[in-house]
Amino acid sequence: MKKLLMPLLLVMLFTLAACGNQGTADKEEGTSEVAATTESEENKEQTITYLGEEYTVPADSDKIVTASQEAMEDAAILGVKPIGAIATGGAFPEYLGDSMSEAKEIGDKRQPNSELLLQMDPDVILGTSKFQPEVVESLNKVATMIPISHISTDWKENLLLLAKLSDKTEEAETIIEDYEKEAAEGKEHFKKTMSDKEVVMVRIRGGNFFVYSPDVYFNPVLYNDLGLPVPEEIQASKSQEMISLEKLAEMNPDYLFVQFEEGENADSPQALEDLKGNSIFKSITAVKNDDIFYNSVPPLAAGGTALSKTEFLKVVMDKLAH
């Protein structure tokens, strides 16, 4: 009996060992499978650095939402068509061409509709640095929200960010290079012709006049890129400041750019026409010499973007480079 039991025990031991080894092999194989999956998942994401901050987004970010004017203008100049964007008065600005042709309206520019965005399932949301903290938190629950800077001097970083997301870095670099070359040529020209001239841009909003500091709105084109003299009142301005017509007349610029958009003057739609007939306004040198330019660029244009800067540079060179 003992002789019969011994072989049976040996067979059972070998069988158990074999099962144990197979289990270990299965476990190791399973571990390799998980590691491969994890690696694959990681390869589907990319980390982008923008203005010193890192953001993780899908490697293929095809579904882009432009939730700021700056991002929309960058999309237009790069030929990118977002799936969603903010609208003004229920419509996308005409000056952006067909760049918004595939975009759905996502609600108010101060607080885009998170429910709509969830339905759209974007890869990334290009918002604005003006968003309140609660809006930032809400949008980040939908997808990574990158707060695009509204500061004019960050225009290159803004453009290159969208270019990175849309695989258009080469196009963006060409746009920047071309602009800087043309601006440098203009700066050299104006050193000889405009060193004693003052150029001012004003914006009419709510029937009032506003001027901007040298690094805000379109002013960087005039004073930084083209090196035109900065009027004292502009130098003293902090971001956007309201001034009276009398103060504007006191400034007495040689050249004056006036921006007027009907939607920003709903309560005073006749403000521009009234201005043209005002005797104080007519006393300004730029007006008397017919060196005044109304809406020389689209009045809704952001000012501090590659698109705005490129278009305004062309206008300034055309109007002032005699």
In a domain, 15, yes or no: no
Residue 70, SS3? helix
The CATH number for 201's domain is 3.40.50.1980
CA 149 – CA 171 distance, rounded (Å): 21
Residue 272 lies in a domain: yes
Q: Are residues 213 and 298 in the same domain?
A: yes
Q: What is the mean pLDDT of residues 263-292?
A: 95
Say if residue 188's pLDDT is above 50.
Answer: yes
Q: What is the mean pLDDT of the chain?
A: 88
Whether 12 has a pLDDT exceeding 70, the answer reads no
Same domain, 199 and 152: no
The answer to whether position 139 is within a domain reads: yes
**4 or 60: which carries more pLDDT confidence?**
60
Same domain, 212 and 256: yes
Question: Domain for residue 238, yes or no?
Answer: yes
Residues 147 and 206 in one domain: no
Give the global pTM: 0.84
Question: Is 125 a domain residue?
Answer: yes
Q: What does the DSSP assignment read for 5-68?
A: HHHHHHHHHHHHHHHHHHHHHHHHHHHHHHHHHHHHHHHTEEEEEETTEEEEEESS--SEEE-S
DSSP category for residue 107:
B
Residue 316 and residue 253 share a domain: yes
Which residue in the block uniquely carries the two structure tokens 């072989």? 7
Would you state the pLDDT for residue 238? Answer: 87
| pLDDT for the residue 43 | 60
Q: Does residue 144 sit in the same domain as residue 212?
A: no
- The residues near 207 (Cβ < 8 Å, ≥ 6 apart) are 265, 267, 268, 271
pLDDT for 1 equals 44
The residue out of 171, 206, 222 marking a domain boundary is 171
Do residues 313 and 217 share a domain? yes
**pLDDT score at 322:** 73
In a domain, 181, yes or no: no
90 and 165, same domain (yes or no): yes
279/245 same-domain check: yes
Per the structure, the complete domain to which residue 164 belongs is given by 47-171
Q: What are 206-227's pLDDT values in tens digits?
A: 999 999 999 999 999 999 999 9
The answer on 199 and 162 residing in a single domain is no
Please give the tally of structural domains in the chain.
2
Q: How far is CA 38 from CA 34, 45, 48, 287, in A?
A: 6, 11, 20, 67
Q: Are residue 197 and residue 312 in the same domain, yes or no?
A: yes
Question: Is residue 125 scored above 80 in pLDDT?
Answer: yes
Assess if residue 20 is contained within a domain.
no
What pLDDT score does 212 carry?
95
| List of residues 6+ apart from 22 with CB closer than 8 A | none
Q: Is residue 7 part of a domain?
A: no
CA–CA separation, 67 and 144 (whole Å): 12
Q: What is the pLDDT of residue 106?
A: 96
The interaxial angle of helices 69-78 and 306-320, nearest 10 deg, is: 80
- Do 315 and 235 reside in the same domain of the chain? yes
**CA 144 to each of CA 81, 86, 138, 169: distance values in angstroms, whole numbers, following the listed order:** 18, 17, 10, 21
